[in-house]
Amino acid sequence: MFTSSFRFVSSILKAGFLAISLLLLLSSWGNSSRNNLFTSVVSQHQMLLNNQLRSYKAALGYLPIKNTHHKLIANIFYSAYTLNTNAARPVTFVFNGGPGSASIWLHMGSLAPVRVQHGDTSYSDNPHTWLQFTDLVFIDPVGTGYSRATEGINENQFFGFKQDISTIANFVNQYLAGTHRTLNDVYLAGESYGGARAVGLAAQLQNDYNIKVSGLTLISPALNYETITFKAGNDAAYPLYLPTYALIAQFHKQLPPQLQSLAPQVLANKVKTFANGKYINLLKGDTTALNENLDSLSYFTGINKEWLKQHNGRITDHEFARLVLNEGGTRTGIFDARMAGVSKKGDPSEAALRTTFPKALSAYFKKELNYKNNMAYRATINVSDWNFGSKSANYYLNVVPTLKQVIADNPKLKVHVVGGYYDLATPVETIKQAVATIGSTQISSNYYYAGHMIYTDNAVNDLFYTDSKSFYTL
């Protein structure tokens, strides 16, 4: 399925004047420390795109971030892919979420010219690279990947919603100016928390830099944290998770025969009706038909009625993952609940990715792009005190109003929202509710039978590519 191609690192003399100019420009962005670590590496490659052999540049390096006093406070690492053409092309800035995740997952999992072969640490040409319709810039936020705060600067100052989008906006503005792309269409693509980042970033770019974003791709986005957070006093998440619970239970064959036989969407709609009616009343304390409603809850989820009664009909995502298989010590994944494994080893859908993606990225950088960096590449970091926008009690980050305002301010903005039906991190109904709240024809949506990282499923990644190409070209 994957096409063959050759890659080579060009010398400056062979690349010609254009490559020399670009190399010097990109290198100058990170050379403030006089350290070879910050020298950018530019290489030339070829691959088949739409059955045509096309050449493109890969540029890996750093861009300096300075504070309002013009002091260097961080160096952000990026990986950029640019098709060699005189045609004006959009440029898409890509990041994952966390918060505390590098862009490795979207980079090696779906969008770049190469893609990880899932299940091992190898990679091969990606016939569904987004390079076919947009240039790409993968950004690792400060503290992740190879991005770091400078010596003497505490990285914690970057760990907040406002601080993060301010830093990334600075990066985007500099990159566009430095590569003479200020007149090109700008797109943003973010996954999970990266969806919230993309919304906030679009607003900041528009308000502070007069850069109007042409399109947003929000992948399994966390748009309203109240609907994905299980905390005492907050019942907003429970009814929205219920249809996903039912689909997962059906996938693992834990439902009665009459439910197992239903098409997944028929089942989901049936459960949604219950969730938005009788179940919400149950959560509010209505005990009029307690036993009947608990029976229904058990019927739709496969969870024992007595357990549900003891917990007042409330099932968190992790509780469901541990209980639905009815087997001691076995649980489903959170990122992809179709996967199952031993509970004490953590999320089984996450473990395989952590062992394969970083190794594949490291090999790709060294062998194909001739990029070496002695620092440890941080695929993810643990950020326990991320400032989501307010320190007030029970505060939940909610970018839905921001997205609604950005759309109102920019009638030409397109938004593509996607999600997976077996995702317990940001279930489809939490996304659908946010989209419905905005109620804009500028938003298009696609949902797939996949987990949180929809692209790790090969068949779904094919669909995602097709839908994304239509989004960019229509």
Parse the chain into domains and list their residue ranges.
7-226+355-473, 231-315
Domain 7-226+355-473 -> CATH class: alpha beta
Low-confidence ranges of the chain (pLDDT < 70): 1-38, 119, 343, 345, 391-394
| Partners of residue 203 on adjacent β-strands | none
pLDDT of 354: 82
- Token pair, residue 81, equals 């892919």
Asked whether 321 and 332 are in contact (CB, 8 A), the reply is yes
Orientation angle between helical segments 428-438 and 237-251, nearest 10 degrees? 140
pLDDT of 390: 72
Number of H helices, E strands in the chain: 15, 15
What is the C-alpha separation between 249 and 145, in angstroms, rounded? 36
pLDDT of 346: 77
- Token pair, residue 257, equals 């025969």
Tell me the per-residue pLDDT of 128-157, one tens digit each, with 9 for 90 and over.
999 999 999 999 999 999 999 999 999 999
Tell me the per-residue pLDDT of 334-389, one tens digit each, with 9 for 90 and over.
999 999 988 676 788 887 788 889 999 999 999 999 999 999 999 999 998 899 98
Tell me the per-residue pLDDT of 223-241, one tens digit each, with 9 for 90 and over.
999 999 999 999 999 999 9
User: Residue 218: which of 75, 58, 406 has the closest Cα?
Assistant: 406
Distances (CA, A) of 81 to 44, 110, 263, 288, 435: 10, 14, 41, 61, 31
N- to C-terminal Cα separation, the chain = 27
pTM given for the model: 0.90
188, containing H or E segment: strand 186-191
Q: Where are the beta strands (DSSP E) in 360-472?
A: 414-420, 443-448
Residue carrying the six token digits 């709609």 = 269
pLDDT of 392: 63
92, containing H or E segment: strand 91-95
